[in-house]
Amino acid sequence: MSRFFSSMDSCPAIKNILILDSEGKRVAVKYYSDEWPTNSSRLAFEKSLFTKSLKSNARNEAEISMFDSNIVIYKFVQDLHFFVTGGDEENELILASMLQGLYDAVALLLRGTVDKREALENLDLILLCIDEIVDQGMILETDANVLAGKVAIQNMDVSAPLSEQTISQALASAREHLTRTLLK
């Protein structure tokens, strides 16, 4: 008897993405699992995970840890702590690749200044980035350049003067203007 796999069985599933500050407070979080159904259970998970992770030195490389029967990959940058949680059967390398893609995309979007102040000022970009990297727990993309490009396009203000736009935004704006003039 053969077993048929659903697409969820063969795709790595993310349970949550957390970006916390140096005190363990939320900067940006997204949960994809019902394992933590209430806000208080989520806050308790975040607090205990943060407390456990403080004992490590995840500044240069991402660390892999088992926590409450989950695989947690985490990395500290400046005063931000990035966490990705998956089930205990998930591939650590894929989760680590996803975390690195998220961090690299955030670094691109924040122009290399990855700290709490800059993250809070650009929270909309970070949340868009999280939405582009994972949908309903399934990893969609891990390439930082692709992620940052998708977020930049979604966040583009076509009414802004060309001098205040990035090159990709200016090209997209010019393309849109050319399309409108050709269709008239």
In the chain, how many domains are there?
1
Amino acid letter, residue 93: L
Range of the domain at 59: 2-183
Q: What is the pLDDT along the chain (184 residues), one digit of tens a residue?
A: 344 444 445 677 889 999 999 898 999 999 998 889 999 999 999 999 999 888 777 677 888 888 888 999 999 888 899 999 998 888 888 899 999 999 888 888 878 778 888 888 888 888 888 888 888 888 888 888 888 887 777 665 545 554 555 565 556 666 666 676 777 6
The domain spanning residue 134 has which CATH number? Answer: 3.30.450.60
| pTM of the predicted protein model | 0.75
